[in-house]
């Protein structure tokens, strides 16, 4: 495990009524006991953030939004702004998730605008990047990662490093049951850290946490977290059940 504090994040996606979300939050609040050497984050749907915030009051578990718009206010029907998320108690915002890119037309430019808006409102960013199966099979993985990282970080400087988290999520492994091998994940993470060093410097690159996302589950989390450049996990399906996510948070090297 690296010297960077691991971050274990659960992305609940479009799941749960308010009552269901609160029940899971309460289960996590009582069931997770290891916080001294790891950070825990949950990302409920927008409709449940306020209720989950209340349920987690007094707990070290932090809140994240699953997305945001890049304007603070205005005539943007259906959107949610960074100040609204801060008002609800969010600490993080996820941007660039592959499902947003795939189903809702997110581009590197729009992802960057969302990231910059979050940072401008003192919210930390979890920036997601990752290649499709076709891109991996064509040998384009590293090129895709470099392009997405460059676009996502446009206009950001060293001063933003302490509020920036990357999440490598190979699209072909999200919700499919297929997981990148620890070696495949480590290769991508090491490449991204090297890219950060070129963009900033080694000190900054070594301070930024890079999460792995893509069918993380209790059965593979220990092996993934043993890799030197994997600093945590962005967990989808396995974060929807308390016992499963608690075991993931309780990973061992």
Is 94 within 8 Å of 62 (Cβ atoms)? no
* Pairing of β 62-65 and β 209-212: unpaired
Tell me the C-alpha distance between 70 and 8, whole Å. Answer: 26
Q: Is 24 exposed, middle or buried, given 0-12, 13-18 or 19+ CB atoms closer than 10 A?
A: buried
Active site residue 169: yes
Long-range CB pairs of 203-208, under 8 A, 24+ apart, other chains included: 204/158, 204/161, 206/4, 207/4, 207/161, 207/162, 208/4, 208/161, 208/164, 208/165, 208/166
Contact 61, 93 (CB under 8 A): no
Whether residue 24 contacts residue 240, with contact meaning beta carbons closer than 8 Å, is answered with yes
User: Any idea which residue has 């600490």 for tokens?
Assistant: 91
| Torsion angles phi and psi, residue 145, rounded to 5 | -65, -40
Of these residues, 39, 131, 169, 189, which one is catalytic? 169
91 is known as an active-site residue:
no
| From 97, 99, 106, 189, the catalytic residue | 97
What is the set of active-site residues?
Answer: 97, 169
């Amino acid at each position: 495990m690296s010297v960077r504090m691991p971050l274990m994040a659960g992305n609940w996606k479009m799941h749960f009524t308010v009552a269901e979300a609160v029940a899971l939050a309460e289960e996590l609040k009582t069931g997770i006991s290891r916080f001294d050497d790891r950070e825990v984050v949950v990302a409920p749907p927008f409709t449940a953030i306020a209720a989950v915030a209340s349920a987690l009051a007094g707990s070290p578990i932090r809140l994240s939004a699953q997305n945001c718009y890049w304007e603070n206010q205005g005539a943007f029907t259906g959107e949610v702004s960074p100040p609204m998320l801060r008002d609800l108690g969010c600490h993080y915002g996820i941007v660039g998730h592959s499902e947003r890119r795939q189903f809702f037309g997110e581009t590197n430019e729009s992802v960057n605008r969302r990231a910059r808006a979050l940072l401008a409102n003192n919210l930390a960013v979890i920036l997601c990047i990752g290649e499709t199966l076709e891109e991996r099979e064509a040998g384009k993985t590293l090129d895709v990662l470099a392009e997405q990282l460059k676009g996502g970080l446009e206009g950001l400087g060293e001063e933003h490093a302490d509020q920036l988290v990357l999440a490598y999520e190979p699209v072909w492994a999200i919700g499919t049951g297929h997981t990148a091998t620890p070696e495949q994940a480590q290769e991508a993470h090491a490449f991204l850290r090297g890219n950060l060093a070129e963009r900033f410097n080694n000190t900054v690159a070594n301070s930024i946490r890079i999460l792995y996302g893509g069918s993380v589950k209790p059965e593979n989390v220990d092996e993934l977290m043993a890799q030197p450049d994997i600093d945590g996990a962005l967990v989808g399906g396995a974060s929807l059940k308390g016992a499963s996510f608690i075991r993931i948070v309780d990973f061992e090297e």
